[in-house]
Structure 1
Amino acid sequence: MKGHIFILIGPSGAGKTTLANTLHQEGLAHRIVTWTTRSPRPGEAPGRDYIFVTPGQFDAAFHQGDLLEREYLYGTWYGTPIQALSDALHQNHIVLISMGLQGARTIKQRWPSQSTIVAVLPPNPETLYQRLLNRGISDHDLAVRWPVMQQEVNEAQQLADYLIINDALPRAIAELKHIISQQTSKIL
């Protein structure tokens, strides 16, 4: 197999989804649609952004072995369908996926030579805080999430093979393209 998985990790608001969506739209990476138990946000479409399921459906899929991993973040389950990921690797796709730390660890353990972890981080805590406020997250929710997010930033830096500081989107996109090009040239 010559396929490869690039896993974007980092706190909410770092820009992981924006980076992944940009490269998916440019046809530079294959997309795996992950599962979630949360409701769609405005502009999100089922099957395109996530597979939106009930907690019962999610739990059944996990226990049947349909999901490679699962992670519970802020009251919502997220998981990666194992068959879609395995198929993409067997078809020699370059996969770009955004997920939490536990999911990244699971994929790295299962496919160590076929996965690269890229931490996407904001330039500073103030920028991250403002991005989350701009998303409509309340001050109360931010106060609850903030200690967890700070720990996530520290763990992401330790776990990652590469680090992108997303202070300017065009530069972050260029850095991610360079990382993918560099890693895939090693395996082709």
Structure 2
Amino acid sequence: MQKLRQKHPEILFSISCTTRDPRPGDQEGVTYYFLTKEEFEKGIEESAFLEWALVHDRYYGTPLKFIEEAFRNGSSVIMDIDVQGAKIIQEKMPDRIVTIFILPPNEKEWERRLRGRGTDSEESILKRIKNGKTELARQDEFDFKIVNDDLEKSLLELEKIVFSGGKS
């Protein structure tokens, strides 16, 4: 996604809101909007999110206002969301979105990448692996799948899907 955004800045990126703590390198309003649990729950009550979910014991959500404005302006938007969020958006906007499941090449590499970030505790990594296996089981619910085993090849596949409007 980062490579796609660098190569195609005309595609807007939906910055999610979260209640998780910032990791090293995170920037407010760039990687996430960091909210308190109370702020997030107020947003839920006010229907401020297109979708939201409790993931890894933290809230994550897509700000509805950004998506509505982007679509009103005729812009394309890319989102980095989990399977719960994708399912909700598929139900709310079936004719407006294309879903793509990005897979790791294998479980060993996936775990290596998680550990390689150096930002999560062992408990958090184990929880992510457990939850990730549940998400992997739902990959067939998506319109497309890309195995991220070669970054340049994966980027080309992603561009093909994005610029064909999701038509194969």
> Normalization by structure 1: what TM-score?
0.82
Residue 159, structure 1, aligned to residue 145, structure 2: no
Deviation at 1:138, TM superposition (A): 4.2
Cα shift readout 1:83-131 (whole Å, capped 9, x = no counterpart): 1111111111111111011111111111111100000001111111111
- Give the fraction of aligned pairs with identical amino acids, expressed as a percent: 29
- TM-superposed CA distance for 1:133, in Å, is 1.4
Q: CA RMSD in A?
A: 1.5
Question: Segments of 4+ in structure 1 off by > 3 A?
Answer: 137-145
Partners of 2:10 and 2:142 lie apart in 1 by: 21
Distance in structure 2 (CA, Å) of the matches to 1:59 and 1:162 = 32
2:13 maps to 1:69 = no
Match of 1:134 in 2: 116
Distance 1:140 1:64, change over 3 A: closer
5+ residue gaps, structure 1 = 1-19
The Cα offsets for residues 13-71 of structure 1, whole Å up to 9 and x where unpaired, read as xxxxxxx2222222141112211111221111101111111000000011111112211
Are the equivalent residues in 1 in contact too, given 2:56–2:127 (CA < 8 A)?
A: no
Distance 2:88 2:146 in 1: 21
Q: Which has the higher contact order (CA 8 A, sep 6+)?
A: 1
Residue of structure 2 equivalent to 1:24: 5
Moved more, 175-184 or 76-85: 175-184
